[in-house]
Chains A and B, each alone.
Chain A
């Protein structure tokens, strides 16, 4: 089918193929040309064979057909006359304008000379007069030339391009191994055993009005097959030994995590729509950044809140805060634990990589209230004390350092679809931040957190602020991620547009698949990574199934680097298919020579009743 003038401009570097039969002498216009998007299909079906000397669309427009040609004829130089020499000219123009720009920038004059102040001393007649004048004033007495020198020296000089690698700050993580958790008289760490005070739950329950009961259970791997209420969060147990979040030293427990679960008094799960209740080993995808690892001991709270309060913001917040009373007591003993118990020390380095492409990561977090909220910047890693909820902060963009993300500056309250929810532990082990921070080709500047409000007018208000924030960072590229799906895709699209319209290459990452098909788009959303890993492309309520993992991070970075280098990303198919991801992985592996481990999905788990009845009746 013929194309429009705008499409012709967009595809000026694609091959020029006629769409219909045209007579000799006719001027070649977009309406004579076939849509380049379907050319690959035509080639596949054998209807079309493109010779090497086939001209491009940009070259043939305005030229004339020398001979009559049939439909689907590739236009080669022998068929066409009056070709314009546009391409070469354009290149020269571009180079020249660049040169001009360079010259202009160097000749920036700096103005701003302060007038010297005069001190007039008139001595009519005197004897033995000693004047003691403070040095700062005497400098102003100098002759004109002298003062000019002074001013010149203090004038702002143009920066020399002596950009060097620099370590901005480091974060050390000390790992303490725990292989047993027991109840005892007091909370303490003895060797590799963690004791938790037996009656600690009483204080936890008392701490929150909305909490009526808490059951504290220690789930060892042999009990993974037991039933659990919906998992509201998975949290590492970590404490600052030195410094604030994102710097200094943090101590973390290996082998045990805190898991927050619960219902209201009537037994309704504290989850919005979609919850991960059921047998743990059938409803949790282990070994994701945000989920428990196989072998972890789960220190699980089962919080009961007042009836009906599960659907309102204070309810889930109370469950998290009450659980944190227990975690905080463990933090305190971890802080004092013996250095000899350290099994591993790792160092995270925030580095300025000179002359590399500057990149910012934008993480859209839920902010519609209730179970869509996050506590930001607590005093302790993944704590609640000292933190503010991003909904209360108006969901506005918040700039944090990559190390602060990895050091637990986010305590996640997000009870959206469990398969795509980013738990607290996810941020503690954020794969995209880690991959980007350690990529030698990239200079990661910061992570910007931006909440997703409910109402459109607020969404766009926040998005505009994000645009300015990213603009001020002067980046060469950006990656925008979001958890969950739904109306948050509206701001997701808007954020990408705000960044893209400032001529910054941007890659988007979200769960989409079949169920989360993007309802809105714009021309800047031409480089997207789908986080879906489920077989059917759906939200299947299995914790962390469709979350961001290392393989997604690698694909996103490869896509961003391609875009920053000026390459175009091929368009997506209209319907979701897992083949596209496999193709991308193969391309990256071929180019880098590095094997990318694919994450497993729910097919690895035993089928739960819920999956059998609701989601996978076809199996």
Chain B
């Protein structure tokens, strides 16, 4: 089988579970884990609140050799 790249963008959704000046924690729906990102990476109409839902495109992380 030929080596192919599995770059496939999926739409993920999650909930904000923690907010501090230094960063925001987002837990994915579907028990797919969580990420912590700086506030400046988050796009929001108003100040983010705990419990807000977020959505973003992501590919499955692929190990680079």
Q: Which residues of chain B are within 8 angstroms of A369 by Cβ–Cβ distance?
A: 21, 39
Q: Are A487 and B22 in contact (CB under 8 A)?
A: no
Bound form: Cα–Cα A311–B42 in Å: 16
Q: Are A455 and B44 in contact (CB under 8 A)?
A: yes
Bound form: Cα–Cα A572–B45 in Å: 29
**Which B-chain residue is minimally distant from A484 (CB atoms)?**
B40
Q: Are A487 and B41 in contact (CB under 8 A)?
A: yes
Q: Are A454 and B37 in contact (CB under 8 A)?
A: no
Contact digits for A141-165, partner B, Cβ 8 Å, 1 yes 0 no: 0000000000000000000000000
Given A273-B37, A454-B47, A454-B48, residue A487 in contact with residue B23 (CB < 8 A): no
Q: Are A457 and B45 in contact (CB under 8 A)?
A: yes
Q: Which residues of chain B are within 8 angstroms of A365 by Cβ–Cβ distance?
A: none
Bound form: Cα–Cα A487–B39 in Å: 8
Contact digits for B30-65, partner A, Cβ 8 Å, 1 yes 0 no: 000000011111111111100000000000000000
Least distance between B23 CB and chain A CB atoms (Å): 6
Chain A interface size, as a band, is 20 to 34
Judged by a CB distance under 8 angstroms, whether B20 is at the interface is yes
- B40: contacting residue among A312, A313, A456, A486, CB under 8 A: A486
**Which B-chain residue is minimally distant from A310 (CB atoms)?**
B22
Q: Are B41 and A486 in contact (CB under 8 A)?
A: yes
List CB contacts (< 8 Å) of A416-430 with chain B: 416
Contact digits for A475-486, partner B, Cβ 8 Å, 1 yes 0 no: 000000000111
Bound form: Cα–Cα A310–B23 in Å: 11
- A366: contacting residue among B22, B40, B41, CB under 8 A: B40
Q: Which residues of chain A are within 8 angstroms of B42 by Cβ–Cβ distance?
A: 454, 487
Interface centre among A310, A313, A454, A457 (most CB of B within 10 A): A454
List CB contacts (< 8 Å) of A513-529 with chain B: none
Given A311-B21, A312-B20, A312-B22, residue A272 in contact with residue B38 (CB < 8 A): yes
- B43: contacting residue among A310, A370, A416, A487, CB under 8 A: A487
Q: Are A486 and B38 in contact (CB under 8 A)?
A: yes
Least distance between B34 CB and chain A CB atoms (Å): 15
Q: What is the number of contacts between chain A and chain B, taking CB atoms within 8 Å?
A: 62
Given A366-B40, A368-B40, A369-B39, residue A311 in contact with residue B23 (CB < 8 A): yes
Q: Are A454 and B39 in contact (CB under 8 A)?
A: yes
Bound form: Cα–Cα A485–B46 in Å: 19
Judged by a CB distance under 8 angstroms, whether A353 is at the interface is no
Q: Are B20 and A457 in contact (CB under 8 A)?
A: no
Chain B interface size, as a band, is 10 to 19
Bound form: Cα–Cα A310–B22 in Å: 8
Q: Are B38 and A273 in contact (CB under 8 A)?
A: yes
- A368: contacting residue among B37, B39, B43, CB under 8 A: B39
Contact digits for A458-498, partner B, Cβ 8 Å, 1 yes 0 no: 00000000000000000000000000111110100000000
Q: Which residues of chain B are within 8 angstroms of A273 by Cβ–Cβ distance?
A: 22-23, 37-38
List CB contacts (< 8 Å) of A320-372 with chain B: 366, 368-372
Bound form: Cα–Cα A94–B37 in Å: 53
Q: Are A455 and B47 in contact (CB under 8 A)?
A: yes
Q: Are B44 and A456 in contact (CB under 8 A)?
A: yes
Least distance between A414 CB and chain B CB atoms (Å): 11
Q: Which residues of chain A are within 8 angstroms of B45 by Cβ–Cβ distance?
A: 455-457
Least distance between B3 CB and chain A CB atoms (Å): 19
List CB contacts (< 8 Å) of A265-287 with chain B: 272-273
Q: Which residues of chain A are within 8 angstroms of B46 by Cβ–Cβ distance?
A: 455-457
**Which A-chain residue is minimally distant from B42 (CB atoms)?**
A487
Bound form: Cα–Cα A369–B48 in Å: 13
**Which A-chain residue is minimally distant from B64 (CB atoms)?**
A617
Q: Which residues of chain B are within 8 angstroms of A371 by Cβ–Cβ distance?
A: 21-22
List CB contacts (< 8 Å) of A39-82 with chain B: none
List CB contacts (< 8 Å) of B10-34 with chain A: 20-23
- B44: contacting residue among A372, A416, A454, A486, CB under 8 A: A454
**Which B-chain residue is minimally distant from A368 (CB atoms)?**
B39
Given A272-B38, A273-B38, residue A456 in contact with residue B43 (CB < 8 A): yes
List CB contacts (< 8 Å) of A422-463 with chain B: 454-457
Q: Which residues of chain B are within 8 angstroms of A370 by Cβ–Cβ distance?
A: 20-22, 39
Bound form: Cα–Cα A490–B47 in Å: 15
**Which A-chain residue is minimally distant from B24 (CB atoms)?**
A454
Bound form: Cα–Cα A162–B41 in Å: 51
Q: Are B41 and A312 in contact (CB under 8 A)?
A: no
Bound form: Cα–Cα A368–B22 in Å: 9
**Which B-chain residue is minimally distant from A308 (CB atoms)?**
B20
Least distance between A373 CB and chain B CB atoms (Å): 9
Write 23 A-B pairs (CB below 8 A) sorted by A numbering.
A272-B22, A272-B38, A272-B39, A273-B22, A273-B37, A311-B21, A311-B22, A312-B21, A313-B21, A368-B40, A370-B21, A370-B39, A372-B39, A454-B42, A455-B44, A455-B45, A455-B46, A456-B43, A456-B46, A457-B46, A486-B41, A487-B41, A487-B43
Residues of A that sit less than 8 Å from B by CB: 272-273, 310-313, 366, 368-372, 416, 454-457, 484-488, 490
> 8 other contacts beyond A272-B39, A313-B21, A454-B40, with CB at 8 A cut-off?
A272-B38, A273-B22, A273-B38, A366-B40, A368-B40, A371-B22, A456-B45, A457-B46
